[in-house]
Amino acid sequence: MAANQLSSGDLIADRRADYAKMLAESGDHQGAAELMAQALELVPNWAAGWFRLADYEEKSGRKEAAVAALRNTLRLNPGDIFGASLKLALLGAADTPEQPSSTYVERLFDDYAERFDQALVEKLGYSVPEKLAALIERATGGSGFRHVTDLGCGTGLFGERIRSRAAFLEGFDLSANMLSKAEGKAVYDRLGQADLSLPPSDCGIFGELAEGRADLVSAADVLMYLGNLESAFAVAERLLAPGGLFAFSVEDSADERDFLLRPSLRYAHSEAHVVSLCAAFRLSMIAVERTVIRMDAGLPIDGILFLARKPA
């Protein structure tokens, strides 16, 4: 049985877990936790079960029990496909990771790909691709680009909005399912799977690409899945041609800290930190724009759009 298997492999344990889910959906999180604990007595090495138990325990107000369940999840699944390390940090039981597990991010978007466009655009009012494309247009007077590299391209929402201005458009993403959706739109000239959390020297595809290839590098609604942004900036700086533009967005932390982890399990960054990173990577800031980038649980999420230039 794989450590991340959503089924326990035991019929009785799965049945109890299903009942636990029904109780949780009805609001009885304590009852759900008790049933889930019974299921785990039958299958103590079920990582996904421990993660579900942690959720029920947290929602029933039993923080210590939730922490213990999350630690069991990590013990059984060190690759952290469930993001247990992020949950532990939010519960104050561990330091905030500088990066989430790549396997967690990959699985998150593989699972989300099928409903991504509808859920994000139609239900959550997601607007980063349009607003970032408009910011670029205002700064450049609508001129075209020889080569655009879209980092964390997802299903191609930003690619659709820059395609008419790009002679060549390539996109990279960690999720194979998201790339498949992007491919189906026939927007990109090239697509590839790559991990933006790794520096170019450690990530084969970014290290293999020709330096200075792009006159526009974009990262639309991507950096909130990274805490430490140095690897992403290193990739962008390497790929940018002299005089090229780096257009990207972050969630606004409205905080003095460089970055913080939110209950959404996304990271938010401060404007001052992003400006200091641009300076460290020799990128001059052209434009900064604060805006609402989406809704979450009925509340607006504030973000910041940036446009920076590599020295000519």
Average pLDDT, the chain: 94
Q: How far apart are CA 207 and CA 220, in angstroms?
A: 21
Which tens digit of pLDDT belongs to each residue from 250-259? 999 998 899 9
Query: What's the CATH architecture for 11-95?
Result: Alpha Horseshoe (1.25)
Contact between 129 and 161 (Cβ < 8 Å): yes
Q: How far apart are CA 245 and CA 216, in angstroms?
A: 5
Of 123 and 289, more confident: 289
Pairing of strands 169-173, 190-193: parallel
Which tens digit of pLDDT belongs to each residue from 40-68? 999 999 999 999 999 999 999 999 999 99
* pLDDT score, position 203: 62
Contact between 80 and 97 (Cβ < 8 Å): no
Q: Among 156, 158, 161, 160, which Cα is nearest to 177's? A: 156
Q: Among 172, 180, 243, which Cα is nearest to 208's? A: 172
Q: Which helix (H) or strand (E) holds 288?
A: strand 284-296
Residue spans in the chain of domains classed CATH 3.40.50.150: 108-309
Q: How far apart are CA 44 and CA 76, in angstroms?
A: 10
What Å distances lie between residue 181 and 145, 172, 190, 306, CA to CA?
24, 12, 13, 27
* pLDDT score, position 144: 95
Pairing of strands 169-173, 148-151: parallel
The stretches of 26-170 forming alpha helices (DSSP H) are: 29-42, 47-59, 63-76, 84-90, 102-112, 116-117, 128-140, 157-162
Q: What is the CATH number assigned to the segment(s) 108-309?
A: 3.40.50.150
* pLDDT score, position 204: 66
Q: How far apart are CA 14 and CA 23, in angstroms?
A: 14
* pLDDT score, position 122: 74
Mean pLDDT over 267-281 rounds to 97
Which tens digit of pLDDT belongs to each residue from 194-246? 999 988 776 668 888 889 999 999 999 999 999 999 999 999 999 999 999 99
* pLDDT score, position 117: 82
Residue spans in the chain of domains classed CATH 1.25.40.10: 11-95
Q: In this model, does residue 30 exceed pLDDT 60?
A: yes
Residues in CB range of 193: below 8 A, 6 or more apart: 172, 173, 174, 175, 176, 179, 205
Q: Among 159, 150, 244, which Cα is nearest to 192's? A: 150
Which tens digit of pLDDT belongs to each residue from 161-184? 999 999 999 999 999 999 999 999
**pTM score:** 0.93
Mean pLDDT over 105-111 rounds to 95
Dihedral sign (CA 130, 134, 135, 137): positive
Q: How far apart are CA 235 and CA 124, in angstroms?
A: 29
* pLDDT score, position 2: 45
Q: Which residue has the tokens 């805006």?
A: 291
